[in-house]
Amino acid sequence: MIMRKSYVLMFLCFLLVVSGCSVSTTDYSDVPDQLKQDKNEIEFKPLVINNKEELETQIEKAVNGFTEEFSFSGAVYVGVGELDIFSKGVGFADYEEQIDNTVDTKFLIGKGTTEFTAAAILMLEDEGYLYLDDPITEYFPEHTHWEEVTIEHLLSMSSGIVNYMEEPYFSQIPEWVYTTTDEGKDLDVIMGIFENEELNFIPGEEFEYSFSNYILLGRIIEQVTGMPFHEYIKENIFNPLEMTNSGLGNNWIDEYDKAIGYSMIGQGYADEMELYNTGGVDASAGLYSTVNDLSKWYKAINTNEILSKEVVQKMFTTHTSIENKPNNINEFNYGLGTYLYGNVAVNINRMLGYTSLVHYEPETGVLIIILGNHERIFYTNNSLKNILLEVIYGRS
């Protein structure tokens, strides 16, 4: 019989989303050399798959073997361009009720939210509503100490604005912020904690991952459009792409068909994490989605269905060089809303018992999505990704 243990964590494990923790576990030795080079222009030429059935068989064998060895629990998707090669749910979404994970099970995505926020800003720039070189004091005129910070600085994590997810700021956030559904009130509290702090450095001179940047971008989107952030994303991204199982976190607690996040799963027990709404951090880490829905997003990027070629170029080319690179990997930098390894987009996350890894190659269309619902597999997701890359490039 499985025992459920509920821990009130004050959202502390959310800190594990912070970039240094995530990227330091990344190994990209299996990426082809031509993709490791940072380029100013991306040309989409999908990888040619000679035998889809054989490749699917080999991927399934790899996923099954990995699951057996590491007790993986979640969902996996592999595709190339418009081609769906493999998708499968593994393990249980709910260990007490023995409900299986499927390709339509919802997981918290956390840091991967920033791609959607960045895309929304770039779409608005495309339409002439704002410009990346706008000083953010146009939107927050009362904060004159931000007069040198531009929208691009926020997007590229080079603003110098302090990260509210780090101390001494994080512990000032009251617990009710993570349980409220009062739209806007929770965000006001979070902004009040960091908005009057001095900058950590001159904007544009350094890289520093700060969730505060994307909180502010969400507010800018709301000012420009007159819509709540989550409604703008739904109307302009989720609905056009039929991402019907995706949303932002204000109602996460009440969502159906979601996986429960676990801190540990072992023989005969499962430690269940406390559920929180994440509406206060919608624009920085509030996304929930499925492997199937996320695949629709990247297919749309490949085909410029809702993002112009110019927007895609901006998102997936380097804007900020990372000085203290993880594992001394020279190719790691930051685009707009995503880490880049050369021209490979990388998003890795651990949050409230959920893990996610997205490996996307804008040039070849190769896409690997790994979503999980227990924290222990955070440390093995990258190994599964490397195994899948070996299969794709060894048998394609």
Sheet of 354-360: strands edge to edge? 83-90, 74-80, 366-372, 354-360, 344-351, 339-341, 332-334, 320-321
pLDDT for 276 equals 56
Which residues span the domain enclosing 319?
A: 3-395
Q: At what angle do helices 185-194 and 211-225 cross, to 10 degrees?
A: 130
Q: How far apart are CA 86 and CA 108, in angstroms?
A: 21
pLDDT in tens, 219-261: 999 999 999 999 999 999 999 999 999 998 666 666 779 999 9
Which pLDDT belongs to residue 23? 37
The per-residue pLDDT for 314 is 96
Between CA 141 and CA 139 the distance in angstroms is 6
Residue 120 backbone dihedrals phi, psi, to 5 degrees: -60, -45
With a cut of 50, list the residues of the chain below it in pLDDT: 1-26, 268-269, 396
Which DSSP string corresponds to 80-122?
Answer: ETTEEEEEEEESEEETTTTEEP-TT-BEE-GGGHHHHHHHHHH
Q: What is the pLDDT of residue 5?
A: 33
What pLDDT sits at residue 14? 35
Q: 172-215: per-residue pLDDT in tens? A: 877 766 655 555 557 788 888 899 999 999 999 999 999 999 99
CB contact at 8 A, 349 and 14: no
CATH assignment of the domain containing 36: 3.40.710.10
The confidence score (pLDDT) of residue 11 equals 33
Total domains, the chain: 1
Please name the residues in contact with 355: beta carbons below 8 A apart, sequence gap of 6 or more: 74, 349, 370, 371, 372, 373, 374, 375, 377, 378, 381
Say how many C-beta atoms besides its own lie within 10 A of residue 230's C-beta. 22
Confidence (pLDDT) at 4: 34
